[in-house]
């Protein structure tokens, strides 16, 4: 019976089974299960729907595993980045649906982080395809030029041919041959293939790399390859840990960016301390309605830096003077490289008892309020303070321990003893590399 009849009684008078309709009046279809399914490469590892808190905690755990003792490192680095662009990088089983574009995108991020943490270093980029080593970007210290070349190459070419490790290493060796001895010589290879097609014996190339003091680090994307492990071990003083295979995207990202930290100087490579001449030019503006051609690119510029030795004009810093070969830098560039030698010590997790004893209610740096201290913890701390006893709750005489994530949301500097939140902890160790509490302490 039609529902326009007065005697019709609908069994859905309360609208419990009503469906949403589209603009044309048709019922709106719910999304199928396969349409809402997310692939593993679409979900960032260590992230949650609520935000990035698990990733911050994972970052702290990872950093606690790194030794922060001061060691000798080479802050003037010369690195060649080699990217596998063979047919192997088109395999969707490596890293998501397009490992080739993922690798190039990570390489762009690597260039940015590399020059942010190593501003007085130089970088060159090569590509492996058709059995040859193709120059993508020559050795230089301008991050913008490297990024532009990578983006242009990514959009123009697709993976093709087979890779050749020997050709890549020989080309890297030629690019690093004329670099000064006071800097490091490094090669970082992103390798997705399980084989290499070489024209000659690669063992001879490995011996030449050892004689030239060139270190090789390889990140594999598929599986462990014996020749890659052999190259890394021989060129790094028979030490392991320089050849790693990425398990997933996040692991690949961590291994890639880990190479931005300068390597530890080996005993055999330590030279006698010597002075390195550098110039610290000031920024100058050209005269009104005029432009000046820079000596490095021959481009008209409004703002220039004048070499302190030969007075040639350059458009950016840091750079090597194109005339007298003097290294031109700013004091901030040296300061940003200094933290690799003396890294900021890890902050310790603060327990509820320690937080109650200190009475901290907000972060010392950003003033963000901490989680409130439980009342029973406050009462126990007050009783211990009144009686002068220590029942294990007081942290005044307790040695700090690195236990990872803090239960109270507080992290204490081992020098100034101030308490900070987890966001300031990560920011201080990853960005500024200084403790706000220690920097604000005016005591002699």
- What digits encode the pLDDT tens for the residues 135-148? 999 998 889 899 99
Domain extent at residue 398:
348-439
- Give the model's confidence band at 325: pLDDT under 50 very low, under 70 low, under 90 confident, else very high: confident
Q: Which residues, including other chains, have CB under 8 Å from residue 349's CB and lie 6 or more apart?
A: 401, 402, 403, 404, 405, 406, 407, 410, 411, 412
Same-domain pairing of 109 and 138: yes
Determine, yes or no, domain membership for 328: yes
Q: Is 340 in contact with 117 (CB distance < 8 Å)? A: yes
Same-domain pairing of 221 and 289: no
Q: Output the CA angle 394-397-382, nearest 5 degrees.
A: 25
Same-domain pairing of 204 and 92: yes
Write the secondary structure of 395-413 as one string of H (helix), E (strand) and C (coil): CCCCCCCCCCCCCCCCEEC
- What digits encode the pLDDT tens for the residues 103-136? 999 999 999 999 988 888 999 999 999 999 999 9
- C-alpha to C-alpha distance for 255 and 252, rounded to whole angstroms: 5
- Give the model's confidence band at 44: pLDDT under 50 very low, under 70 low, under 90 confident, else very high: very low
Determine, yes or no, domain membership for 15: no
Same-domain pairing of 234 and 361: no
| Region of 146 on the Ramachandran plot (φ > 0 left; ψ -120 to 50 alpha; else beta) | alpha
Determine, yes or no, domain membership for 60: no
SS3 helix, strand, coil % of the chain, rounded to 5?
A: 30, 15, 50
Token pair for 9: 């009684």
Give 217's strand partners. Answer: 188
Q: What is the mean pLDDT of residues 254-278?
A: 76
CATH number at residue 199: 3.40.50.410
- Give me the pLDDT at residue 48, please: 42
Half-sphere exposure of 77 (CA within 13 A, CB side): 27
- Give me the pLDDT at residue 76, please: 85
Q: Is the pLDDT of residue 72 over 70?
A: no
- Pick from 266, 292, 319: which residue ends a domain? 266
Tell me the whole-structure pTM to 2 decimals. Answer: 0.72
Domain count, the chain: 3
Same-domain pairing of 198 and 293: no
DSSP string, 67-123: --S---B-SSEEEEEEEE-SGGGG-TTTSSS-HHHHHHHHHHHHHHHHHHH-TT-EE
């Amino acid at each position: 019976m039609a529902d326009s009849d007065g005697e019709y009684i609908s069994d859905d008078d309360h609208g419990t089974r009503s469906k949403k309709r589209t603009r044309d009046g048709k019922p709106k279809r719910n999304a199928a299960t396969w349409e809402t399914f997310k692939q593993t490469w679409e979900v960032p590892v260590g992230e949650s729907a609520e935000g990035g808190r698990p990733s911050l905690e994972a970052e702290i755990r990872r950093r606690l595993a790194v030794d922060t003792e001061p060691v000798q490192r080479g802050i003037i680095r010369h690195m060649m980045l080699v990217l596998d662009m063979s047919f192997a990088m088109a395999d969707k089983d490596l890293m998501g649906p397009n490992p080739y574009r993922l690798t190039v995108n990570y390489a762009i991020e690597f260039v940015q982080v590399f020059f942010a943490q190593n501003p007085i270093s130089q970088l060159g980029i090569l590509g492996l395809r058709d059995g040859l080593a193709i120059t993508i970007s020559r050795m230089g210290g301008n991050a913008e030029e490297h990024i532009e070349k990578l983006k242009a190459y990514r959009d123009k070419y697709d993976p093709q041919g087979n890779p050749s490790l020997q050709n890549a290493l020989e080309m890297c060796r030629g690019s690093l041959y004329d670099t000064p001895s006071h800097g490091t010589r490094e090669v970082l290879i992103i390798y997705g293939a399980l084989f290499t097609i070489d024209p000659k014996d690669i063992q001879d190339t490995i011996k030449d790399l050892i004689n030239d003091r060139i270190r090789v680090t390889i990140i594999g994307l598929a599986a462990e390859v014996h020749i890659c492990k052999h190259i890394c071990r021989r060129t790094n003083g028979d030490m392991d840990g320089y050849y790693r295979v990425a398990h997933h995207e996040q692991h690949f990202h961590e291994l890639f960016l880990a190479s931005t930290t300068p390597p530890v100087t080996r005993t055999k490579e330590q030279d006698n301390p010597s002075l390195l001449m550098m110039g610290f030019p000031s920024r100058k503006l050209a005269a009104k309605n005029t432009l000046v051609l820079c000596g490095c690119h021959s481009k008209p510029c409004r703002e220039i830096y004048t070499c302190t030795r030969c007075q040639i004009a350059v458009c950016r810093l840091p750079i090597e003077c194109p005339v007298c070969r003097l290294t031109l830098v700013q004091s901030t560039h040296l300061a940003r490289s200094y933290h690799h030698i003396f890294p900021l010590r890890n902050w310790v997790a603060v327990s509820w008892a320690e937080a109650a004893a200190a009475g901290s209610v907000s972060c010392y740096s950003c003033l963000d309020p901490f989680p409130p201290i439980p009342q029973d913890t406050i009462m126990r701390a007050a009783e211990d303070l009144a009686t002068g006893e220590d029942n294990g709750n007081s942290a005044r005489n307790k040695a700090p321990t690195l236990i990872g994530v803090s239960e109270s949301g507080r992290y204490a500097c081992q020098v100034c003893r101030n308490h900070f939140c987890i966001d300031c902890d990560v920011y201080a160790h990853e960005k500024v590399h200084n403790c706000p509490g220690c920097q604000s302490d005016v005591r002699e």
